[in-house]
Amino acid sequence: MTYFQAIVLAIIEGLTEFLPVSSTGHMIIGTALMGMEPSPFVKLFTIVIQMGTILSVLVLYYRRFFKSLDFYYKLVVAAIPASILGLAFNDFIDSLLESPLMVAVMLVIGGVILLFVDKWFNKPQLDNSDEITYKQAFIIGWYQCLALIPGTSRSASTIIGGMTQSLTRKAAAEFSFFLAIPMMLGASVVKLYKFLKEGHTFTGEEMNLLIIGNVIGFIVAIIAIKSFIEVLTKYGFKAFGWYRILLGLAIIGLILSGTSLQII
């Protein structure tokens, strides 16, 4: 991995992780265009740079993390379903990850759904994610399980889940950001553990790449989150829906043209 490739992947991660557009789909396009091979370090890099994006949420919403323990309990409750299913069906999920076509199809399907979400859930009652109940948090957690299907988008599934529970678009998006923290942190720790357990070590250059990736991911994610909340509040999901459809069709086009695509 070169420094240029690391910077590009970090920008992709920071831009797409919290948007309902599937960071996986964008990673496919990015790595394919740069001709990257899925080495153990590259696979680790794409997961561990999520730590930078996690930090962006902590910085932007730091006040929310000092209010009460109740906030953390709700995140734990919401994280339970996807954590259990993710561990139980880990091998099956990994097999799905080997299919760029699956990602492309889910991008298109998810995009079509986003075109109509604003009409389906147009009577929100809660404008503050702190006000959701444990039951609502648990239900949103089940929606997050949809993101175990590559290309679905964790952000899209949890935001829609929040809107089904009468949250406004903004409140649903913010709860989605918070819920990303335990899920992404867990994924990073597991990936790092497996990397080290398999006998891999870091070179000095690889450590530099990880540091650069996380710093850039952090900065870009802050910009992306602020912009996303503004766009979502004013205009809704339709633009993101069309974008997903076009991206999915682009991946399908690359596959039909014979371009080698790999999910890392």
| Domain-located, residue 56 | yes
pLDDT top residue among 156 and 39 = 156
Q: How many domains does the chain have?
A: 1
- 158/6 Cα distance (integer angstroms): 28
- 233/227 Cα distance (integer angstroms): 10
| Domain-located, residue 262 | no
Most trustworthy range by pLDDT among 45-49, 65-69, 241-245 = 241-245
| Domain-located, residue 9 | yes
Neighbours of 146 (CB within 10 A): 18
Burial class (CB in 10 A: 0-12, 13-18, 19+), 96: middle
Question: Which two tokens mark 115?
Answer: 């075109």
pLDDT greater than 80 at residue 44: yes
| Domain-located, residue 264 | no
Q: What is the pLDDT of residue 254?
A: 83
Question: Do 167 and 129 form a contact (C-beta atoms < 8 A)?
Answer: yes
Q: In sequence order, which residues have a C-beta less than 8 Å from that of residue 104 and are 6 or more positions away?
A: 25, 151, 248, 249, 251, 252, 255
pLDDT top residue among 215 and 189 = 215
pTM: 0.85
Find the mean pLDDT for residues 221-227.
92
Find the mean pLDDT for residues 118-122.
85
| Domain-located, residue 63 | yes
Neighbours of 196 (CB within 10 A): 12
pLDDT top residue among 225 and 28 = 225
Give the confidence band of 157 by pLDDT, cuts at 50, 70, 90: very high
For residue 225, what are the domain limits?
A: 3-256
pLDDT greater than 60 at residue 264: no
| Domain-located, residue 263 | no
- 216/13 Cα distance (integer angstroms): 9
Average pLDDT of the chain to the nearest whole number? 86
pLDDT top residue among 264 and 255 = 255
pLDDT greater than 90 at residue 219: yes
| Domain-located, residue 199 | yes
DSSP class per residue in 50-110: HHHHHHHHHHHTGGGGGS-HHHHHHHHHHHHHHHHHHHHTHHHHHHHTT-HHHHHHHHHHH
| Domain-located, residue 261 | no
